[in-house]
Structure 1
Amino acid sequence: MPAMAAVRPEGVATTLTALYSVDQAVGRQQLLDEREELWEQAMRERLCPMEIRLSREDCGPGKVQSADLADLLLTDWDCPAMDGYLPRNANGELDRDVVVVMAGYGGEERQSFGGTDTLFGQGALLITSGEGVGRGSFSVRRSLRKRTLVLPGPALRAAGSGLKMPKSLALGPDRPLVNIFHTFLDQVWTGLPNMIAAEREATRTAVIALIAGIIRSEGVDVNDQSTLPALRAQLDKSIAERLRQGPIRLEDLAADHCVSTRTIYRAFALTGDTMKSVVRAQRLAAVRQDLLDTNLTIERIAHRWHYYDASHLGREFREVFGLSAGEYRQSYASGSGGSIRSTIDHCALGAS
């Protein structure tokens, strides 16, 4: 039967570890069921709801550890052989406006989601958006070591102009930026427990910028003679400059750049966005920064960024970040979130 025990690794905050032992009176099937429930819990909390089936022949040890950067969920997975299935009723639980980044460190995993089949392994990088998740499954035949990073879509969209969010983007270890990302993620994982709040915030910004750069390096399928990508970059800059001035209108942007409103529509559509979605992402990014870096009241922040009132800001903020503005400030502005936490850590099955 599994039991919970508190452990305190050197230099790391208290973590919870699930310890497994096998009583002779407990059947093997019952123990497998219990382990599958814990893996399903970890999947639900760190990625998305999945039904897990562990291998009946060789169910080896596994571990799941987390070390978040504020609203970026960073998880280290050491998985035994298993199969996972997205439940048919999971659509209501899925957050579509997120981006999931998977970095492979060992073993192989076959994935089939949203009509896309992918073989994911050591040195690979897989970037998917919530929009790309449909009915699907994954399979680990032996073992797998990977890290996943889940980040809100608005955080990535606010990182730069002309960013086309991929439904699924698979990159191999032959790509230089993929190797840079793996190395950087290793350094983040190692250094995070010792970072102060300002260092963690800077690291969060750097991680988002690197992911945005990787996506952008894949390019956007437009004619080389098109002026839309350059216009899109200018529009993002104009929006950032206008955020403090009040409501932003399509007609004003068109006049500023001497183009028609139809051209403005096309420039945003180039990356699957609208003016409204870009303004919202930039405004919420500015609110988030104020929550972390200033002592302004939420009412004052709402006024500063032209929300109707604190209640309006709160609804918008919770919809994207999953917490109220006050809860977010309390959780992350004080410097929390730097420790490494172990949620599953169990030994191999065997009779005592």
Structure 2
Amino acid sequence: MTGTGPDRWSVHGRADDDMSDRWREIVTATHLPWSVQAGTARPGGTFRARVRRWWVDDLALVDTECERTRGVRSRAQIADTDGEFVVVLFVRDGAETVRQGDRTTRLGPGDAVVWDSTGSARFAVAQRLVKRSLLIPRAALTEVGGRAWATPGITLDRSAPAVRLLSHYLDALTGTLPALGPAATVAARNATLELFAGAVRAAEDRGTAPGLVGDPVLRAAMVRYIDRHLAGPAITPAGVARAHGVSERTVNRVFSAAGQTLGGVVRSRRLARARDDLTAGDEPIATIAHRWGFFDSSHFHRAFTAQYGLSPRGYRSANGAARH
């Protein structure tokens, strides 16, 4: 999808079983499957909620205002989820408690937490809440690397510059998305991923002394090297090692510390560049594949489909570019 929205949902009425069912349908449609219950401060009171959703290509940006409610994601809801997602939740007003794994996080205005769709989770809202959620397909995160977002319940420090930058960027994005064309939407989506990755890495690095293997500066320098050479000859551990004055073993350990391989990072970032080109013009798909190191069209088709859930031709069609 390109930049669209916002799509809107709302409910208003007596907080009974029927209202809980209607609220569950909205939450499931916008935030993945949950079992939820609508509530009020007093029995028989009125429950109100409204939701707005913007698409940033394959990312969903969802704003919610609701009254007292609670929800659970257990085996049944996880099994009903199509795909795997990482979600960052910002509380803008009110309070919410989120539990995943052995972590319970109590969030107030300005606080943020990251949760993982593959694990059971609970939330509770005791008063009126205004929040924003960013839903990211896990496959998209391979483009920016790292395993930090697999940590359930990781909190983001609202005072951290990287977190403030992400929050302000999302504010600006909601006002501009409907006017963006396909290429600009993909660029906005990529910027969102990079800002999210930076915010999570800042949270993971907080209070730790960086070492050579875990040093995010070294890894970032290697990724910049990869990006500069994506359209060139094969990128090898030996070449990356020479460029940074380290051993090949160190190169491999830097990426394995993030749950990756050098080859996997190169392939993912080449696919991301090809993905951008598919919506930027009407070049033949084979030309784009060749530019980014995929000399076998069937291999490019399989790799792209595995990464993004659509074939290159299907992705181009879905994003409004010319068919080939």
Match of 1:184 in 2: 169
Distance in 2 between the 1:67 and 1:274 partners?
A: 33
Moved more, 79-88 or 325-334: 325-334
- Residue 76 of structure 1: how far off its partner (Å): 1.0
Match of 2:32 in 1: 48
Query: Is 1:102–2:89 an aligned residue pair?
Result: yes
Query: Are the equivalent residues in 1 in contact too, given 2:146–2:258 (CA < 8 A)?
Result: yes
- Compare relative contact order (CA 8 Å, sep 6+) and give the higher one, 1 or 2: 1
Moved more, 161-170 or 278-287: 161-170
Q: Which amino acid aligns with 1:209?
A: E
8 A contact 2:11–2:48 mirrored in 1: no
The match for 1:218 is 203
The amino acid across from 2:133 in the alignment is T
Q: Is the 8 A contact 2:90 2:131 kept in 1?
A: yes
Q: What is the CA–CA distance in structure 2 between the aligned matches of 1:183 and 1:255, rounded to whole Å?
A: 39
In structure 2, the partner of 1:7 is none
2:136 maps to 1:151: yes
Partner of 1:120: 107
Residues 301-331 of structure 1, C-alpha deviations (whole Å, 9 max, x = no match): 3333233644433333333333332332223
The 3-state SS of whatever aligns with 1:67 is strand
1:125-204 matches, within 5 Å, as 125-130=112-117, 133-153=118-138, 155-159=140-144, 164-165=148-149, 167=151, 168-197=153-182, 199-204=184-189
Contact 1:40 1:50 in 2 (8 A): yes
TM-score (norm 1): 0.73
Scaled by the length of structure 2, the TM-score of the pair is: 0.79
Change (3 A) 1:314 1:45: farther
Counterpart of 1:337? Answer: none
Question: How does 1:178-327 map onto structure 2 within 5 Å?
Answer: 178-197=163-182, 199-218=184-203, 220=205, 223-224=209-210, 226=212, 229=215, 230-245=217-232, 247-254=234-241, 257=244, 259-307=246-294, 309-327=296-314
Please give the alpha-carbon distance, in whole angstroms, between the structure 2 residues aligned to 1:86 and 1:288. Answer: 33
Q: 1:235 to 1:13 in 2, by over 3 A?
A: closer
Does structure 1 conserve the Cα–Cα contact (< 8 Å) formed by 2:66 and 2:128? yes
In 2, the alpha carbon distance for the partners of 1:49 and 1:242 equals 41
Larger mean Cα displacement after TM superposition, 92-101 or 118-127: 92-101
* CA gap 1:82/1:255 in 2 versus in 1, 3 angstroms: same
Partner in structure 1 of residue 65 of structure 2: 78
| Residue pair 2:12, 2:47 contacting (<8 A) in 1 also | no
Calculate percent identity across the aligned residue pairs.
Answer: 28
Report the more deviating stretch, 249-258 or 49-58: 249-258
Amino acid aligned to 2:222: L
Change (3 A) 1:193 1:333: same
Q: For residues 21 and 138 of structure 2, what CA distance do their matches in structure 1 show? A: 29
Matched length: 312
CA distance in 2, matches of 1:180, 1:243: 28
Larger Rg: 1
CA contact 2:87–2:115 (8 Å) conserved in 1: yes
- Relative distance call for 1:176 and 1:233 in structure 2 (3 A) is closer
- What is the SS of the residue equivalent to 1:295? coil
Residues 111, 156 of structure 2: 8 Å contact kept: yes
Cα distance, 1:48 vs. partner?
A: 2.4
Distance 1:54 1:321 in 2: 35
Give, in whole Å, the separation in 2 of the partners of 1:245 and 1:174.
Answer: 40
Does the residue aligned with 2:95 lie in a helix, a strand or coil? Answer: strand
Equivalents in 2 of 1:294, 1:66: separation in Å?
28
Which whole-Å deviations, capped at 9, do the CAs of 1:41-100 have from their partners, x for residues lacking one?
333333322111222734511111111111221111112322211131344455775432
**In 2: Cα distance, 1:225 partner to 1:14 partner:** 44
CA shift for structure 1 position 287? 1.6
Unpaired segments of 5 or more residues in structure 1? 1-11, 23-27, 335-352
Consecutive unaligned residues of structure 2, counting only runs of 5 or more, are: none
RMSD: 3.5
CA displacement at 1:146 relative to structure 2: 0.7
Instruction: State the Cα distance separating 1:117 from its structure 2 match.
Output: 0.8
Letter in 1 for 2:39: S
Checking the alignment, whether the CA contact within 8 Å between 1:123 and 1:179 is kept in structure 2 is no
Distance 2:218 2:158 in 1: 33
Q: 1:154: how far off?
A: 5.1
CA gap 1:98/1:178 in 2 versus in 1, 3 angstroms: same
